[in-house]
Structures are given as structure tokens and as C-alpha cells.
Chains A and B, each alone.
Chain A
Amino acid sequence: MQKGIIVDDASIMRIRLREILEKEYAIVAEAANGEEALQMYNEHVPDFLTLDITMPQMNGLQALKSILSTHPDARVVIVSAVGQKQIVFEALELGAKDFIVKPFDPDRVLKAIHRLFA
């Protein structure tokens, strides 16, 4: 079973994403900001990561850059309310594999993760 990490500053979103994903994947850690995400990534080296953008301390785009600088093959899916065109372009250009805009449908999340391993 592939391992994933959920990164979101809102505990309610971590709970909901876990409920969606853990039917098919092992969620090995959660993080509430970009700094924690880096720590958790290095500790667990997961097969994928869902990453929010608007978070305290270090935002998702900064975390995405850091993770990809040390793990260029990291599979990162952004799950964010901030789906502005320029931000979506920036995230995908940096190397995110997909961008899901909140509010999301559970199926959209599962499909995005399935595609990472297709």
C-alpha cells in the first residue's frame, strides 16, 4: 500500500482528507504547516503528499520548492482554496502533479492520487 502525508493547517480538512484517502492508502503522517511538512517528508519519504497553500510559518508553495529541491521525484498534489490562475500555474511549474481547488469532491481527490501511480 502506498504511503501518503496530508498537509493542511485546518484539522477538519486533515480529518476529511484522511477519511477519503485511507480506504486505499496508508496515511503515515499529517502536518499543519510547511515546516512540519518538510520534517515529515524527510522522516517518512512518502509516495505522495497532499499540500495546502495558505498556512502559517511556511506556506505550501515554499514547502513545495524545498521538498522538490531535495526530492525531485516527489509526487505532490496541491489541495487549496486559492485557485487563482497565476497560483495554479506557479504550483504546476514548480512541479506539483495536480491542483485541486477547495471545496472538493472526494472522487476528485481519489482520482488525482490514482493518476500519480498510473
Chain B
Amino acid sequence: MKAEYANIFIRSAVEVFQKEANVRLTRKDLAKKSSPMPSLPVSIIVGITGLLRGQVVYAMDQGFAFSVAKAMLPNKLPTEVRKLTNSAVSEIANMITGQASIALAGETGTIDLTPPAVLMGSDLSMDFLDIPTIALSLISEIGVLEINIALMDGKGDD
């Protein structure tokens, strides 16, 4: 996998979090893994097909997820925000992946995204793709965001 994918996702995540949640993300770590299996309890999986194929798996803890939802819905009561937390984090994942896909697709390519799927800690029995993964760790005042990028060339996949 190309190392430049990491920078594309970092830029997208920083921009989306600043705009949607007024949160400043900073890169902390970058590691290589054999699959995008997340290490934090709330994860959001976005599947990718087309010019590239694979998965991007975002992960965070529950406090981080609630803070994101609260920032996106400043006029809602905490009970309402709690109900909308999964929707908020899945939309944030959709926006980051969507922004990154603009750079990844370039002038002529097309990259299709699946609707995000949110999993909580105890549901992590699903199969993650066995694809070399770049694991990014980004920090902020509300906690850590993990982005696991498992992408490979998808040409001829159509």
C-alpha cells in the first residue's frame, strides 16, 4: 500500500473534525499491521471498491464518540445526543473517507464507498480483510481517533 494514503487520510480527518466538531486533531503514531482490526471499542467500517478496494476502519472510545455527536448537535439535549451518537460517528467516517476519496480517485477514477457500519466492542466478531494496513493514531482534547487504512489496487475489479 502506498504510504501517501496516510497523509491523504490525515488531511481529510483534520479538516472534517475542525469543520464539523471544532476539534483539532494532531498525528500521534503511524504503524503497520496485517489487518484493519481496530483496538478501540467503537468502530466504524467503510468498504471501498472501484479504483481501490478494501476497508477503512475508524475507532474511538465511547466518550470520544459522544463528544463528537455533542459538538455536531449543539442545540440538542444529552439524551437526544446519546441516541444520535452512532449516526454522528458514522457520518464523520463517511465524510473523512469521502474527502480522501476525492484525492485518491484523481481526475478520472471512481471510488465507491459502502454506507458506514458501526460496531461496538462486543460485536467485533466480524471478519476484517487480511490486507496490509496502515494504522494512524490522531490525538485531540476529546481523546484518540484511530484510522486503519487497508487498501489495495482495485483495477480489474469491476
* Chain A positions near chain B (C-beta within 8 angstroms): 9-13, 15-16, 19, 54-56, 80-87, 101-103
* Chain B positions near chain A (C-beta within 8 angstroms): 15-16, 19-20, 69, 72-73, 75, 84, 87-88, 90-91, 94-95, 97-99, 101-102, 105-111, 113-115
Q: 26 interchain pairs (CB within 8 A)?
A: A10-B94, A11-B84, A12-B72, A13-B87, A15-B73, A54-B113, A80-B98, A81-B94, A81-B95, A81-B99, A81-B113, A83-B98, A83-B102, A84-B110, A85-B102, A85-B105, A85-B106, A85-B107, A86-B109, A86-B110, A101-B102, A102-B95, A103-B15, A103-B16, A103-B19, A103-B95
Q: Contacts A10-B90, A12-B88 known; A103 to B109 CB distance under 8 Å? A: no
Q: Is the interface of B mostly helix, strand, loop or mixed?
A: helix
Which residues in A have their C-beta under 8 angstroms from that of B107? 85
Interface centre among B88, B110, B111, B115 (most CB of A within 10 A): B115
